[in-house]
Amino acid sequence: MKNLTVAAKVENLHKVMDFVDKELKKSDCPRKMRSRAVLITEEIFTNISNYAYGSETGNATVRISADKDVLLEFSDSGVSYNPLEKPDPDIHKSAQEREPSGLGIFMVKKMADNVEYKHSGNKNILTVRMYPEFSAGKIMSTEFVCLKKEMTVTEALGQVRRAMPENNTVYTGYVTDADGRLEGVVTVRELLLVHQDTMIKDVMNPDVVYAQVSDTQSYAADLINQNDFLSLPVISRENKLEGIVAAHDVIGIIQKETTYEIEKMAALNPSEKPYFKTGIFTLSRNRIPWLLVLMLTATITGLIIQNFEDALLAAPILATFIPMLMDTAGNAGSQTSAMIIRGMALGEIKVNDFIKLIWREAQVGVLCGLTLGLVNFVRVYLMNSGDAVLSIAITISLIVTVIVSKTVGCTIPVIGKKIGLDPTVMAAPLITTVTDVTALFFYFYIAKLILGI
């Protein structure tokens, strides 16, 4: 935490703004957050702080801390006031007569994520927090029920009742110590079911699931979804309770992420706008890149067919089974990759499960391959005048194709995750290409071996 103390004179504003900008730059704070912090500083020192209204005595202190989130603390000496509760927007009064500017504090609240005021000693302290875009801190609410371990259930329920008129998310009480550190949680339902003289420390759950203010919104949404929570506590690096994220706050986030993942799995560049509000050229531009990739990678398939041209000339009937084998390979691979990507997204599958996944999907591939192979043998045998040798060649090729495709379908997403690539982006085009290539290669190789061509 860095401090700068200057004489309480408005002429020192630029010195304070430079201090805020340089300190945030040192901590690699994003440029947008840095710009907002400087603008907030200017607004506070020109429209809100004591010396902006004629006070030329005492000092003004700025405390700044930045990691992934930014904390600005402004304090000045002089008359006690709370700009958050009684702003005076009358700009026609003189500087000495005016209360802190209503417009000024409105702008600060608009640019910041959380603004708090307290009066300590002879100082007015205004604390401003900003959180990174898409962080849990950005969407959390600072309205929650705070309880103490030493309270009885009766006292806790009284606290809940007092909070309910202004708070629509009173599902859980959060137990904190004297320093605001989170110690446990207790639901309102649990409070209603136990004896009124029971101590909170005896009914609270000390094993708290929480997110930190710098965690992503999607991480917070996953925790709420996995644990079936109505709200999730959000804490600082010091384990202090900063706010809560309610379940209804993350519904839109889950919907957006689901749409985003579906579009990427379909080899589309995701769009922020609804379908009918997106222009034709934009839709085309989002689709063309991956279509080009898939078209060009299909060249490999053509090269394999060209390489086995002698087999096709010797047994032209082999060409009629190519579409069936390629479609089956693609479907088998896509089935598996969809399940694996979903499992990784929900935290059910880890990168360390790689060997276990391959073994499991290989077994699934054998069972699926044998079932499809049996049906296919009967079909080929009946449709080709009882040609048993051809039926065996096609069936074995199909079984091998399904096993390999299932294995490829589970391997590519995990490898992508391991090397830091998005599995949903790389899965669709890569699986299509790899399964097509392997299906054709094994098909022609097995056919030549069994048919003797």
Nearest to residue 247, comparing CAs of 227, 222, 230, 226?
Answer: 230
Say what the pLDDT of residue 51 is: 47
Task: Quick: pLDDT tens for 161-217.
Answer: 888 777 776 889 999 998 889 999 999 989 999 998 999 999 999 999 999 988 888
Same-fold call for 2-130 versus 137-247: no
Paired strand residues for 77: 123
Tens-place pLDDT, residues 288-341:
877 787 788 778 888 888 888 888 888 888 888 999 999 999 899 988 988 888
Q: What is the dihedral of CA 216, 217, 218, 221, to 10 degrees?
A: 130
Phi, psi of 153 (to 5 degrees): -60, -35
> Residue 91 has what pLDDT?
40
| Calpha distance 99→101 (Å, rounded) | 6
pLDDT at residue number 94: 45
> Looking at residue 60, what is its pLDDT?
66
Q: How far, in Å, CA of 58 to CA of 6, rounded?
A: 9
At residue 70, the pLDDT reads 80
Task: Indicate the fold that domain 275-451 takes in CATH.
Answer: Tetracycline Repressor; domain 2 (1.10.357)
Q: What is the CATH number of domain 137-247?
A: 3.10.580.10
For position 52, what pLDDT does the model report? 52
Domain 2-130, CATH among 3.30.70.20, 2.60.260.20, 2.60.40.10, 3.30.565.10: 3.30.565.10
Question: Which residues of the chain, if any, have pLDDT below 50?
Answer: 51, 53-57, 88-101
The token duo for 449 is 């071996």
Residue 19 has a pLDDT of 85
Report d(CA 374, CA 398) in Å as an integer: 10
Token pair 């900003």: residue: 130
From the number of C-beta atoms within 10 Å of its C-beta (0-12, 13-18, 19+), residue 163 rates as middle
State the Cα–Cα distance between residues 173 and 178, nearest whole angstrom: 16
Give the end-to-end CA distance of the chain in Å, rounded to a whole number.
78
For the chain, what are the domain ranges? 2-130, 137-247, 275-451
How high is the pLDDT of residue 422? 72
